Structure 1
């Protein structure tokens, strides 16, 4: 744990950083009692010191975000370091330790390899035994599920779950994608329409480049540049006829995924398995979150999409972030002017997106939800099948889509605008906000 204390006007400001890369600012009075809020400080010097603390806290949080992204990029970069360097820069460094402490690391000694996690300055393997006396020539890298056997992956998932370890990014439960020997891509995105603004925001958040397309000339292509001249591109087949006020297309149609190196097109099997898996993981995220449906369904979807866009604009004009959120989650208000159209759109979207292979994200979410429900009072009233969780209720049952969180009536597939108070999840599943919502819905519906 990293801790910084500063005395200001009879109060103590405390900045603490704990795994998994969580920074917290608290205040104590002269008696050492923790305050519920920041104190009111008088005097120019105290006010300046207070502003300095706020800036320092913001800087620490930003540094943690940047360093977390940097360490996660080790997967795709193939980062390897010596054990001495690893101790110096990742374990003994107070700030970086809050990121690296809850991660699983691989240790190579000659032709032998081990995986372990740090706990109380001790290396523990998945079976609970210690990893001691590693020589100075040991090489350290970030552990990835593709490097391990199925039994080792399962052991680490059980360990992380059993000890309620929250990792700074998904690792033990990380989604993996394996290149097919027939040369085809495991993700079927050809002909898939996506919300362009949301798609671009997701691209940029993962280090890809892309400029919005619109009614003006634009041929920008989503691209991720990797080391040694390797790059990945997502083809854009065209744009929708629905535009924003600035002439930007609200949706674009995707084509094939292409890997290139120095002008040569590579097949997925020619890539390093982890590189391929990590790129596919990004694209799965983009399409599962921003997806609007396939080409053959687009005519029907686009008609209702315009109504949804209109409803979003109405909500934004009214400065109602809550209403925009409700629309996105299918929680349509009874008095909403486009209630029928939005329900129709969401149902059509659900049917079209179900044509995608079950995303790895949904498979992992399914496994985590199964672990969460095991032994609970609603376990016997729920079952997970594919991309849906089925719940027995007094009204005949309902279905929750694990990809979108939408709830449907089991009898007639009618959209059910239902909300539930989100349960606090203090384990590996807690970083998945949609899973937290689904978990809360399962409990509410099965207990009703």
Structure 2
């Protein structure tokens, strides 16, 4: 029964994330204006604080934070501790729903009244840290929008009924985007989701010529089960492919802003222990008189087009076998892997490069790292390495040998990044590891490095 309830709650969370106006009505749950909830437990104080998009439980005594739950609290207040831990989970779930709702409001251009947004979101004890970490636009005069990041700046003067919306980089000038990216890194603001560093996608000449479809993300080989899981996680609908009638191909679909639908075709390419799928064309439909009609790409609003293509880019970059460092199968799949693992950078990889250009100079390995085209070049003591910014695969100089290295998803020590992304963390982790290659003790990695070192 608990598992069934958990699944039901997850479905409710997903539904709320699609209804922004509901997801934004968060209760304060007893948190104070400072964003903390305190409860006295004997001679100790339990404190729940909001840390980014998560809640954290700690214990204090005489104003000093303790490293763990005091033995007396565990013994005498067992039920209270359980209740507080459950509350931490509940807060985390509500913040996750809030983040999905805010990000999901991009295509529709969701707007709020300035007074309500200021009092019920920016100053909310639970939602506040998340909301303040995002860039917003306030209509301070008819047609005049002022961008603000509440975490580092004062709110503009505006009437309570003025419109407020999330800022999206596709409608901003390049200089403004760069300025916001610089500000995040300089002030140490980690956004709850990619916004200033958000990938944007505009129509290409090839798509303008094709008019009705895009092949920008076609002809990739992907891990199908991972792809299908991502469809579900991102709110897409799709039939499961497999070796049965009608299971050879499908079009995953997602509705954006109520009236637009994106369709992403994919086919089952290989059945086995690790099913593979091939990616194909992308098309858009528009809801007209209650029915879906095929729409030319040029008619799709820029934000809707960009957000839809961003999803597909995510699907391909995360599930492509090109990012699999251990791929060894023969045949066409191997040929694709060898071609794509060090290929041209997609939009997400270019954004990753831009983030690294700002983050690396602030690290202890700055003097050993250089960004060079598609690669982060890392100079170790034994060899020089080229980490591909798309796949995170590694080549070694001077012979261009491939280095198979499985590293932790987070770099050693504390490295600030303006957004959470597994691939970015993986690249940084490998960079820190290889910059100190003389200290590597893993024999499988060490042997590869020393085999051709000069």
Short-chain TM bin: 0.7 to 0.9
Paired residues of 1:82 and 1:140 also in contact (CA < 8 A): yes
Normalised by the length of structure 1, the TM-score is: 0.78
- 1:11 corresponding residue in structure 2: 44
Which position in structure 1 is the counterpart of 2:159?
A: 135
Contact 1:232 1:258 in 2 (8 A): yes
Instruction: Please state if 1:224 is matched with 2:211.
Output: no
2:393 aligned with 1:406: yes
- Does the 8 Å contact 2:341/2:393 carry over to 1? no
- Structure 2 match to 1:28: 60
Matches within 5 A, 1:158-307: 158-181=182-205, 182-184=208-210, 188-219=216-247, 220-243=250-273, 250-261=275-286, 262-292=291-321
Is the 8 Å Cα contact of residues 210 and 221 (structure 1) preserved in structure 2?
yes
150-159 or 5-14, which deviates more: 5-14
Distance 2:355 2:270 in 1: 37
Query: Alignment RMSD, CA only?
Result: 3.1
Q: Distance in 1 between matches of 2:415 and 2:433?
A: 19
1:343-369 Cα deviation digits (max 9, x unpaired): 999985543325865211110111111
Closer/same/farther in 2, CA of residues 426 and 377 from structure 1, 3 Å limit = closer
Q: How has the CA–CA distance of structure 1 residues 33 and 379 changed in structure 2, closer, same or farther, with 3 Å as cutoff?
A: closer
Q: Measure, in 2, the Cα distance between the counterparts of 1:118 and 1:151.
A: 20
What is the aligned partner in structure 1 of residue 350 from structure 2? Answer: 363
Cα distance change on mapping 1:444 and 1:356 into 2, 3 Å: closer
The count of corresponding residues between Structure 1 and Structure 2 is 391
**Could you list the per-position Cα deviations for residues 384-425 of structure 1 after superposition, in whole angstroms to 9, with x for gaps in the alignment?**
233222334555532211112221223443221335672344
Structure 2 spans left out of the alignment, 5+ residues:
1-33, 438-454
**Aligned partners of 2:221 and 2:324: how far apart in 1?**
19
Q: How does 1:424-439 map to 2 (within 5 A)?
A: 424-429=413-418, 431-439=420-428
**Partner SS for 2:158:** coil
Output the CA distance in 2 between the equivalents of 1:442 and 1:35: 34
Equivalent residue number for residue 445 of structure 1: 434
> Once the 2 structures are TM-superposed, how far is the Cα of residue 113 of structure 1 from its aligned partner?
1.7
Q: 1:79-106 CA deviation, whole Å, 9 max, x = no partner?
A: 0112112113211221111111111111
Distance 1:348 1:191, change over 3 A: closer
Q: Which residue of 2 aligns with 1:126?
A: none
Residues 270-279 or 390-399, more deviating: 390-399
Contact 1:397 1:410 in 2 (8 A): yes
- SS of residue paired to 2:92: helix
Contact 2:222 2:276 (8 Å CA) reproduced: yes
For 2:173 and 2:126, the matched residues in 1 are separated by: 32
